[in-house]
Amino acid sequence: MILKLLLVIAVIGIVYFIFIKKKPIQNNKPTKDSSKKREKEKSNEMVECSACGIYSELGETIISNNKYYCSSECVEKG
């Protein structure tokens, strides 16, 4: 009988800690590091390759003669 009661209490405790318990509030004040991180996250702008037409992220492209290229092979083609 006591074993069943302990088992029920354990199950209730597990359900409480997994589903019901609130997570602590994190400090979301912006700092210099977090603003740089946000800018980096926003830099997922996609641009079209001038040679093959494939879209790639702005940070991964190669700029040559004011045109965007996805790879060095496309730079040689263009």
Domain count, the chain: 1
Tell me whether residue 74 is in a domain. Answer: yes
First vs last C-alpha separation in the chain: 81
Tell me whether residue 32 is in a domain. Answer: no
CATH of the domain at 70: 3.30.60
pTM exceeds 0.75 for this model: no
Domain residue limits at 68:
44-78
- Token code pair at residue 57: 């992220």
Q: Half-sphere exposure of residue 13, counting CA atoms within 13 Å on the CB side?
A: 6
> pLDDT tens digit string along 29-73?
666 655 565 555 555 788 999 999 999 988 889 999 999 999 999
Tell me whether residue 78 is in a domain. Answer: yes
